[in-house]
């Protein structure tokens, strides 16, 4: 049985690792948590992974039915997530200090967004690509064991992401404030480009679906 599930697991693992891309998330995590203590960084990384598991599990089990019930296509969902990602990249590019400070929990953390949920979990770790992938891997046609293999692959990828983010503080120590701001701006530019591609893909697929209908 394990031998039969291994190809499914490997396929799911490779696909999710590429889509989630913990290598890209790690320097962004370092820039957003540069004012935090090592313990706080680890706690944020773990919470981001827990949120991501919950989000991806929900969409994997009920995402297709939910979007269909609401009359929302995956193309529209992908475009909407792209817009959110663009806003984050825009703020990172033009004012990295205020972006990091606004996402840093502190005395007034209750009045601020939690960076574990946004932007780390959504849209970075559990973004539109990861959601679409897990919905495909756990679609109605997938066998129960195949769904289990996809879930195991998802958890392992997110554990790898936590391990990589736990070493992110060393990046900040080496680069310093100026270096981290420079990287934050570069990553913000890349995120804006990536999010624009998400929007383009969503609009293109949506138009093709409407034309086919």
Tell me: the pLDDT tens digits for 142-159? 788 888 999 999 999 999
Please report, for residues 23, 31, 77, 123, 182, the alpha-carbon distance to residue 110 in angstroms, rounded to integers and kept in the order given: 30, 21, 28, 21, 29
Q: Comparing 74 with 124, which gets the higher pLDDT? A: 124
Phi-psi region of 118 (alpha: psi -120 to 50; beta: other; left: phi over 0): beta
Domain boundaries, the chain: 37-103+112-212
3-state SS assignment for residue 93: helix
Whether pLDDT at 140 is above 70: no
What local confidence, expressed as pLDDT, does residue 185 receive?
81
Whether pLDDT at 2 is above 60: yes
Report yes or no: 162 and 45 within 8 Å, Cβ to Cβ.
yes
Q: How far apart are CA 119 and CA 125, in angstroms?
A: 9
Token pair 């981290």 is at which residue? 180
Cβ-based burial of 108 (10 A; exposed 0-12, middle 13-18, buried ≥19)? exposed
Report yes or no: 99 and 91 within 8 Å, Cβ to Cβ.
yes
3-state SS assignment for residue 119: helix
Q: Spell out the residues 6+ positions from residue 82 whose beta carbon is closer than 8 angstroms to its own.
A: 128, 195, 196, 197, 198, 199, 201, 202
Residue 43: pLDDT band by 50, 70, 90 thresholds? Answer: very high
In whole numbers, what is the pLDDT of the chain averaged over residues? 79
Q: Angle at CA 67, nearest 5°, toward 63 and 73?
A: 120
Whether pLDDT at 105 is above 80: no
């Amino acid at each position: 049985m394990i031998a039969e599930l291994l190809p499914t697991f490997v396929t799911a693992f490779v696909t999710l690792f590429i889509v989630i891309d913990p290598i890209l998330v790690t320097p962004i995590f370092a820039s957003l948590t540069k004012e935090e203590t090592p313990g706080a960084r680890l706690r944020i990384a773990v919470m981001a992974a827990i949120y991501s598991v919950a989000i991806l599990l929900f969409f994997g089990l009920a995402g297709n039915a939910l979007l269909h019930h609401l009359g929302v296509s995956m193309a529209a969902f992908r475009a909407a997530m792209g817009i959110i990602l663009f806003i984050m990249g825009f703020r990172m590019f033009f004012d990295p200090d205020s972006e990091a400070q606004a996402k840093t929990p502190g005395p007034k953390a209750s009045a601020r967004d939690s960076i574990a949920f946004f932007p780390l979990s959504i849209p970075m770790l559990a973004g539109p690509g990861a959601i679409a992938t897990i919905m495909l891997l756990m679609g109605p046609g997938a066998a129960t064991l195949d769904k289990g293999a996809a879930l195991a692959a998802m958890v392992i990828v997110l554990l790898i992401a936590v391990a990589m983010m736990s070493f992110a503080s060393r990046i900040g120590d080496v680069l310093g404030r100026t270096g981290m701001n420079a990287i934050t701006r570069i990553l913000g530019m890349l995120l804006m480009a990536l999010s624009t591609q998400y929007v383009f893909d969503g609009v293109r697929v949506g138009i093709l679906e409407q034309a086919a209908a």
